[in-house]
């Protein structure tokens, strides 16, 4: 279980990144209080934490807070949506869904990275700019793979029943699977999921009205046109498998215009979105889609 910490600013991408900058912002500047609105409010980056990978590299887990309840904001890569140093594009979203989006992407750092080096993400939305620095701050080390209190682990998801499994919040633009689609037909997106049907929470009290063991949240991450999904969320068909829960769920994505898109998938378990505040246990993945007429 993650120790309680205030998430930076109220509350990832490319390959391995080398950091040399020591840009800093005070914590007071990061902890910006602003009310939610239907529209016209700002977007703030959010730091969920960092973890070390089996190969010795390190991963920053990053999300955001869109304070608009009814406005999805799009900010292209550039002056209004940039990372420094090494940017502006480090695999961050250009589409910001309403509300708090936990662990939307990751950035991988080399084994020998300077743990005090800062990597800053700046977002300008509705005329306001918010910048948050990310670094390997010791109190923000997290374990998104296992909640030791109950042994909960993130769902395993596959885009092919015999294909490789993805587990944990490791959404990375550079590792997005590739698909093709047409504006006229759209794209069918089947997902196979396996889960232990456990959950993480502050109290680990029994769930009075438990939701489905796995819920899929599809959204547009990048792209020139709008994207709609016919089922939000899709209903799982139970199938045989190795987990306590095994299922298959399919959505049909439709695109308003041809071009290059990235779709984002967040698979939550019984813990809820973003692990219910515990950072464990949820799984993220991305799909690149080339859309023709």
Name the pLDDT band for 54 (thresholds 50, 70, 90). Answer: very high
Cα–Cα dist 285/259, whole Å: 20
Cα–Cα dist 94/263, whole Å: 11
Q: Is the pLDDT of residue 129 over 60?
A: yes
> Which pLDDT score, from 0 to 100, does residue 203 have?
63
Contact 9, 30 (CB under 8 A): yes
Mean pLDDT of 173-184: 97
Q: Is 67 exposed, middle or buried (0-12, 13-18, 19+ CB in 10 A)?
A: buried
Among residues of the chain, what percentage have pLDDT more than 70?
Answer: 87
Tell me the pLDDT tens digit for each residue of 215-260: 999 999 999 999 999 999 999 999 999 999 999 999 999 999 999 9
Distance of CA 228 to the CA centre of its chain: 19
Domain 156-292 CATH superfamily: Immunoglobulins (2.60.40.10)
Name the pLDDT band for 288 (thresholds 50, 70, 90). Answer: very high
C-alpha dist (Å) from residue 218 to 124, 128, 204, 239: 24, 27, 27, 21
Among residues of the chain, what percentage have pLDDT more than 90?
Answer: 78
> Which pLDDT score, from 0 to 100, does residue 104 have?
97
The conformation of residue 3, written as its DSSP 8-state character, comes to: P
Domain boundaries of the chain, sorted by first residue: 27-140, 156-292
> Which pLDDT score, from 0 to 100, does residue 68 have?
97
Cβ atoms < 10 Å from Cβ of 272: 17
Q: Is the pLDDT of residue 86 over 50?
A: yes
Contact 287, 273 (CB under 8 A): no
Cα–Cα dist 62/48, whole Å: 6
Cβ atoms < 10 Å from Cβ of 268: 27
Q: Is the pLDDT of residue 157 over 50?
A: yes
pTM of the predicted structure, to 2 decimals = 0.88
> Which pLDDT score, from 0 to 100, does residue 208 have?
80
> Which pLDDT score, from 0 to 100, does residue 14 have?
37
Residue-averaged pLDDT of the chain? 88
Tell me the pLDDT tens digit for each residue of 18-37: 454 333 333 333 445 678 99
> Which pLDDT score, from 0 to 100, does residue 150 have?
86
> Which pLDDT score, from 0 to 100, does residue 62 have?
98
> Which pLDDT score, from 0 to 100, does residue 33 have?
67
Tell me the pLDDT tens digit for each residue of 244-255: 999 999 999 999
Mean pLDDT of 72-93: 98
Cα–Cα dist 189/119, whole Å: 34
> Which pLDDT score, from 0 to 100, does residue 11 have?
37
């Amino acid at each position: 279980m993650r120790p309680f910490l205030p998430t930076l600013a109220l509350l990832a991408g490319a390959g391995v990144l080398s950091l040399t900058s020591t840009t800093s912002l005070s914590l007071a500047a990061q902890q910006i209080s602003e009310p939610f609105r239907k529209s016209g409010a700002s977007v703030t980056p959010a730091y969920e934490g960092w973890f070390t990978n089996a190969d010795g590299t390190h991963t920053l887990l990053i999300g955001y807070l869109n304070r608009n309840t009814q406005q999805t904001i799009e900010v292209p890569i550039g002056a209004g949506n940039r990372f420094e140093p090494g940017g502006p594009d480090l695999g961050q979203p250009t589409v910001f869904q309403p509300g708090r989006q936990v662990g939307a992407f990751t950035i991988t750092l080399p084994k020998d990275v300077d743990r005090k080096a800062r990597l800053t993400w700046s977002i300008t939305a509705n005329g306001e700019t918010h910048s948050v620095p990310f670094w390997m701050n010791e109190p923000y080390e997290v374990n998104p793979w296992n909640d030791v209190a109950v042994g909960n682990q993130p769902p395993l998801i596959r885009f092919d029943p015999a294909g490789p499994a993805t587990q944990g919040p490791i959404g990375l633009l550079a590792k997005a699977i590739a698909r093709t689609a047409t504006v006229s037909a759209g794209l069918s997106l089947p997902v196979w999921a396996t889960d232990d049907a456990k959950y993480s929470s502050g109290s680990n009290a029994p769930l009075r009205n438990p939701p489905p063991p796995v819920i899929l949240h599809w959204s547009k991450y990048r792209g020139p046109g709008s994207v709609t999904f016919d089922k939000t969320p899709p209903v799982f068909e139970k199938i045989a498998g190795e987990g306590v829960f095994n299922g298959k769920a399919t959505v049909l994505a439709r695109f308003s215009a041809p071009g290059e898109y990235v779709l984002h998938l967040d698979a939550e378990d019984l813990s809820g979105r973003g692990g219910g505040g515990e950072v464990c246990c949820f799984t993220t993945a991305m799909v690149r889609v080339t859309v023709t007429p």
